[in-house]
Amino acid sequence: MDRLNTESFFERNLLSLSARDGALCSRLSVADTGLHRYRFLRARSGEIVPAITARDGNAYPLHSMVDPKREAARLLDSVKDAGCLVFMGLGGGFFPAAALECEGVCSVFVIDYDINGIAELLCSCEMSGIFKDPRFRLLIDVPPALIEKRILASYQPVLQEGIRVLPIRNRVAFDADKFTAAKAAIEGAVSCVSADYSVQAYFGTRWFSNIIRNLFNAGDTPPLPSIRRAAVSAAGPSLDIQLPRLRAEQRTAFIIAADTSLNSLVNAGITAHAVVSIDCQHYSCQHFMNGIPEGTPLFLDLASPPLLAAMTGNRYFFAGGHPLAAYVSRFWRSFPPVDTSGGNVTYAAVCLAESLGAQEIELYGADFSYPLGLTYTRGAYLFPSFAQRQKRLSPLETLHSDLLYRTPLTKRGGKDGGFYYETPAMRMYRERLEDKAALLGAELIPIPGMGAAVNVRIKQGQRRGNPAPVWGKPSVSTEDFLAGYHAKICALPLPGNSISAWLEKLKQDESLVLATLLPEAAAVKRRSPQLQTGPLIEAAAAYCRAEIEKVLNAVRVRV
C-alpha cells in the first residue's frame, strides 16, 4: 500500500475519531506506526485483511482471507438476540461495521491493546464510518476497572436485550492474559447490571408509586448539625453481645440504627439519634410496630412506603438510587443523595453517617452471616412475629430453621472454633461494604462479634469529613411539579423500529424523563416478557401517567 493512501486513511480515521474521543485521538497521533505489528494482505473479495505478526515472523490473519465481510455478516446472524456487542480486537473493523448495520444493536464496544499496533491498523484500513457512529466505543489499553465502569454506564438491559462478547481469536491469542482480564471485568459488570435489573423488575412499580406519594410528605426539613463520631447498629446476632459497649457509647457517638435493629436498642434502654429505612415494601413497617421513640428522626429513602412516612413528623427524606429521585432533586427540590447500592440498610446507614460528616464510624451487629446458626438479634421483629405464628406442629425452632435454610448456605469456620453460615447475598453485601469502606471519607471500625465481618480486613478511607447535608426548598408546589412531569411523559417521543436511532434523537431532558421510567419498564417486562422494547416503553409510560393522575385526583378531592 503506497504512502499516500496510508496517510489518507490515517487522517480520515483520526478526524472521525476525534469528534467522540479526543484523548484517544491524541494518543494515536503520536504513536509509532513503524513497528510492523501487522502485515496487510488482500482477501479474494478484494478487502485488506490485517495479519498479526508473531515473534517468529509468521503472520496470522484476523479475518477470513476469502470474504471478511461475509464472515462478519454470518457472525452477526448468530447473535441477533443481543443489543450490546463487545468485540475483543479491532482487526480490520469488519465485525463492528457489520454490527452497526443491525437495527437492534444499541451499542458496540471494541477492546484492544497496543496503541502502536492500533495506529498501524488505522493507517491501512478505512474505519471512519464506524468511528462516526455514536453507538461505537473504542477502548485501547484500558484497565479492567475502567472497562467495567464503561459497561456499567452504557448497558441498559431493559432497552438492549442481551450483551455478547465476541473475540477475534487470532488477536486474543497474542495477548491472552489482558483479554482474559477484560472479559472478567465485563462479566463482573454484567453480573452487577443483571442483579440491579432483577431488583428493578420486582420493585420498579412500588418504587414509582411510593416516590410520587412521598413528595406530599416531604415538607420543610430542619437543618442537622454535623457529627464527628457515629455508631451504626445492624441487626446481626452479634448485636446482642455488643449492646453494653454501644450503651456506653451513646453519650459520645451519634447512634444511627438500621430499622431492623431499632427494637433491640429500645429494649436495651439505648436511645438512637436516628433510624434509617430504605425498603420499599410495606413489611418494613413491622420494624416500627412498637412506634418510633419520641425525638428520634426517621431517615427514609424517597421510595420508602408512604405509610411509614406517616408514622412521624420527624422525618428526613434522602435520594437513593432511583432515577426519579435524582430527577426530583434536580427539578423540584434537592434531597441529599445517600448511596443505597449496597442493597441493604446497614450499607445505607454507613453512607448516611458519612454524609452527616462523621470521620469515624463504629459498626455493630454487622455479621453478614448466620453465626452459630443464629439469624437475627433477639429484638428483631421476627421473634414476636414467629411467637404468634408458632403451633404444636410448627414450633418456634422450626420457623427459625425454615428461615435459616430457605436459601443455599455455605458453612465456614470462625474464630475461637466457632462457625457461621453464609449465603451468596450476604457475601455480596459484605464485599460491597468492604469496597465502599476504601472510598469513605471516614474510618469504618467493625466491632468484634461472632460473624463474617470480624474475619475480613476492611480497607480504611481517609478521614476528611463532610459538610452537613442540605435539603433545598421546592421550586413549585408538589401538584404543579407532578403535573409538569406528567406532561413531559406525555410528550416523550415513542420508539420506532430502531431503538438506537430513537435514543440518539432524544433531547437531554427527554432522556432524563425516559430514565425515570426504566425501572417500571423492567417491572412491566417481568409481567409481560413477550413485549418488545417499543411497546414496553409505551406500557411503562402509560402506567406512570395513570399513577400520577390517580394521585393528583385524590389531592383535588381532598381539597
Grid cell listed for 78: 448468530
| pLDDT score at 454 | 44
User: Domain 212-368+426-455, what architecture?
Assistant: Alpha-Beta Complex (3.90)
Helices (H), 144-281: 144-154, 157-160, 169-174, 176-214, 239-249, 262-267
- Give the type of residue at 460: Q
Query: Residue 442 belongs to what H/E stretch?
Result: none
Backbone dihedral region of 352: left (phi > 0), alpha (psi from -120 to 50 degrees) or beta?
alpha
How much of the chain is helix, strand and coil, in % rounded to 5?
Answer: 50, 15, 35
pTM comes to 0.84
Q: What is the pLDDT of residue 239?
A: 94
Domain locations in the chain as residue ranges: 3-174, 212-368+426-455, 475-558
Burial level of 66, CB count in 10 A (0-12/13-18/19+)?
exposed
- pLDDT value at residue 53: 95
E strand or H helix at 107: strand 107-112
CA distances from 489 to 136, 303, 482, 509, 536 (A): 29, 20, 10, 11, 14
**CA-CA distances (angstroms) from residue 216 to 213, 221, 554?**
6, 13, 12
Give dist(CA 253, CA 240) in Å, integer.
19
Cα within 13 Å of Cα(66), Cβ side: 3
Q: Is 431 within 8 Å of 195 (Cβ atoms)?
A: no
Stretches in the chain below the pLDDT threshold 50:
1-4, 454-457, 459
Give the span between the Cα atoms of 429 and 166, in whole angstroms.
Answer: 31
